[in-house]
Amino acid sequence: MRGLPRPFLLPVAAAALLLTGCKTVHDVKIDSINNPAKSLGVSYRLELLDPTGSQADSVTAQVHAGVRTALAARGMFEAPANAPAGMIITAEYGVGPGQMKIIYRPSNTGLGAGALSVGRGTPAPILVFEKYLKLTAREPAPESAGRDRRGRAPRGEELWSLQVSIEDEKRDLAPYLPVLASTTIDYIGTNTGSEVHLLVDAATAEVKLKKRR
C-alpha cells in the first residue's frame, strides 16, 4: 500500500504458509495508515470493489459479511438508507498477478509436501499469488460538490486505510477471507508505520470472526 519494495528472497521466517500436522498458519502482511487529525468514524456506507471483476458473487457476499463483522467489532455500524453516514468505506479485494519468489522447502522434517520451511532447507523458486483485502475510509463528499470535468464524483478526505494480504501458491481468494477479515479488526484506524507480519492460525481466525457476528 505504501509502495514498499518486495524482496525477491522470501525469508524462511516469513514463509507464506506453514503446515504443522492439521494446523494451518498464515503469514499475514499488514499495512495501515490513519489521519490523526480526524476521528475514526462510527457510521458508514460500504462500497465493494473487485478491480478485475473476476470474483464470483459468492466471494463478494463473503467479503461483505466479513468486513461488516470486522467493523462491528470496532463499534461501527452501517448507516440506514435514509440517514447520513459518517464515512464511506471502500472494500477492495482480489488476487494479484503471480510473481516468482524463493522459498526454502524442508529437506526432511515430516511436514506436508506443500509446507514451507521454518529452518534451513533447499531453496526453490515458486510462483506465488497475493490474496488481499483493502479497506479505505473517507469522509462523505459535501452535498454541494459537483462532478469534475470527467464526470467523476467527488471524494472526501481519507480518514484511514488498511491492507492485509497473504502470499502463497494458491489463487483462490475465498478460503483466505476469514483470516484476512479477522486480521483487520485490530488494525482498523491505526498506523503501523511500515508493513508488519503476523502469523495467524486459520481455524482460530474463523472462530474469532464467527463469534463477532
> Is a pLDDT exceeding 80 seen at residue 143?
no
Is residue 129 in a domain? yes
Q: Considering its fold, how many domains does the chain have in total?
A: 1
> Is a pLDDT exceeding 80 seen at residue 56?
yes
- Torsional sign, CA 58, 59, 62, 68: negative
User: What is the mean pLDDT of the segment spanning 133-155?
Assistant: 76
User: What is the mean pLDDT of the segment spanning 168-183?
Assistant: 95
Is residue 1 in a domain? no
Is residue 182 in a domain? yes
C-alpha cell at 164: 492485509
Distance CA 29, CA 33 (A): 14
> Is a pLDDT exceeding 70 seen at residue 71?
yes
Is residue 80 in a domain? yes
Q: For residue 152, what pLDDT is reported? A: 63
C-alpha cell at 137: 475510509
Residues spanned by the domain of 165: 12-142+154-212
Is residue 196 in a domain? yes
pLDDT mean across residues, the chain: 82
Q: For residue 35, what pLDDT is reported? A: 95
Which has more confidence, 116 or 203? 203
Distance CA 204, CA 209 (A): 9
User: What is the mean pLDDT of the segment spanning 55-77?
Assistant: 96
CATH number at residue 100: 3.30.160
Is residue 5 in a domain? no
Which has more confidence, 107 or 46? 46
Is residue 21 in a domain? yes
User: What is the mean pLDDT of the segment spanning 58-85?
Assistant: 95
Reported pTM: 0.79
Enumerate residues 6+ apart whose C-beta is below 8 A from 150.
none
Q: For residue 96, what pLDDT is reported? A: 94
